[in-house]
A and B are shown apart, each in its own frame.
Chain A
Amino acid sequence: AQTIHQWPVAEIKAVGSPLSLGCTIKGKSSPNLYWYWQATGGTLQQLFYSITVGQVESVVQLNLSASRPKDDQFILSTEKLLLSHSGFYLCAWTQGNTEVFFGKGTRLTVV
């Protein structure tokens, strides 16, 4: 069975500090991977997607970047956090158009 793991579970960071969020998927080779962002009580905004190692496409940048260093790993990062980066970050994978599977998310609070 496929499992998706996100780290950390939660972060409190200062404005201007760097950030790195990670996501690993096990049990699925060459998955399509996604980063979503959700403001509190808000909708899910797709940020990035990747269909293969080393290749990442941006949907909405929000002064963030993403990388896929390994087939099963997807990283979201920034060198300088803004207050507007606060929210819930979700990593997800999919098989075509059937269903999107979400990780448990990272709650980020920028202070």
Chain B
Amino acid sequence: GDSVTQTEGLVTLTKGLPVMLNCTYQTTYSPFLFWYVQHLNEAPKLLLKSSTDNKRTEHQGFYATLHKSSSSFHLQKSSVQLSDSALYFCALSLDRGSALGRLHFGAGTQLIVIP
């Protein structure tokens, strides 16, 4: 079936260091991949999205590249800030020609940035 795997449940980093949050997916359909960020007691907000193979997408210092050959969409940032502390979700939507737009979410990765 269709699924998303995030291998790290918790990542703790010192401010200024680089980060990579892993995301791999499984599907037989053409994928749309998303990264959502959720701060405490807030709704998830879209951070990045992509459906184009091997093209880097960037927003707010974060970037990711969809690699269909390895079914991956890892989230990276070169220098994390305290304000980046949040829960990050990778999500998969499938182009089945349907208007449903159902998202399959990964388990989430909690990023904690310390001074």
- Give the distance to chain A from B26, nearest Cβ to Cβ, in Å: 16
A86 to B45, alpha carbons, bound, how many Å?
Answer: 22
Range class of the A interface residue count: 20 to 34
Interface residues of A (CB under 8 A from B): 32, 34, 41-46, 49, 51, 59, 90, 94-105, 107
Contacts A96-B99, A97-B101 supplied; 5 other A-B pairs, CB < 8 Å: A95-B101, A99-B49, A100-B46, A102-B43, A104-B42
A21 to B45, alpha carbons, bound, how many Å?
Answer: 21
Known: A43-B108, A105-B43. A100 touches B89 (CB 8 A): no
Interface centre among B44, B49, B101 (most CB of A within 10 A): B101
B41–A97 CB distance below 8 A: no
Contacts of B53 in A (CB 8 A): none
What 10 A-B pairs have minimum CB-CB distances, sorted nearest first? A94-B101, A102-B43, A44-B105, A97-B93, A97-B32, A43-B107, A105-B43, A97-B101, A43-B105, A104-B43
Instruction: Give the B interface residue count (CB, 8 A).
Output: 26
Interface centre among B45, B89, B95, B99 (most CB of A within 10 A): B99
Known: A102-B44, A103-B43, A104-B43. A51 touches B100 (CB 8 A): yes
A97 to B106, alpha carbons, bound, how many Å?
Answer: 17
- Would you mind naming 5 contact pairs between A and B with Cβ atoms under 8 Å apart? A44-B89, A51-B100, A100-B46, A100-B101, A102-B44
B43–A90 CB distance below 8 A: yes
B43–A46 CB distance below 8 A: no
Contacts of A100 in B (CB 8 A): 34, 46, 91, 93, 101, 103
B43–A32 CB distance below 8 A: no
Q: Decide yes or no whether B102 CB sits under 8 A from chain A.
A: yes
A51 to B41, alpha carbons, bound, how many Å?
Answer: 28
Known: A98-B49, A105-B43. A46 touches B32 (CB 8 A): no
